[in-house]
Amino acid sequence: MKKAWLFLLLFICACGPNYSNGSRIGIVTKLSQKGIVWKSWEGEMLIALPTDVAGTTQPEKFAFTVDPSAVEKVQVAMNSGRRVELIYRQWWLKPPTQDTLYVIVDVKETK
């Protein structure tokens, strides 16, 4: 019985927001607050393509949820229309309070 509880505890911990950490570079094109009961900030970014293929392929969209502490930074990035680096945490299982597995925790300017 103790092994089952240990396995359950490890499983729950593995489902947390630190399954993966990373960043993506692109242009933020959408940000909106969604939800009926639980409100969350959801957005989209067009992934920046290398200049030699930018005109030959469709840009990839990256959908994300924004941590409340980073909403203002994402809004500034979207209004600027410039390329930015979004720093994210990835969940292993998506919580019911958000639409995506990726949660933006910070925004950095790119050159």
How do the residues of the chain divide into helix, strand and coil, expressed in percent and rounded to 5? 25, 40, 35
The pTM assigned to this predicted structure is 0.78
- For the chain, what is the domain count? 1
Per-residue pLDDT of the chain (111 residues; tens, 9 = 90+): 677 776 666 666 555 666 789 999 999 999 999 988 889 999 999 986 666 655 666 778 999 999 999 999 999 999 999 999 999 999 887 778 888 999 999 999 987
Structural domain of 105: 2-109
Query: CATH no. for residue 98?
Result: 2.40.50
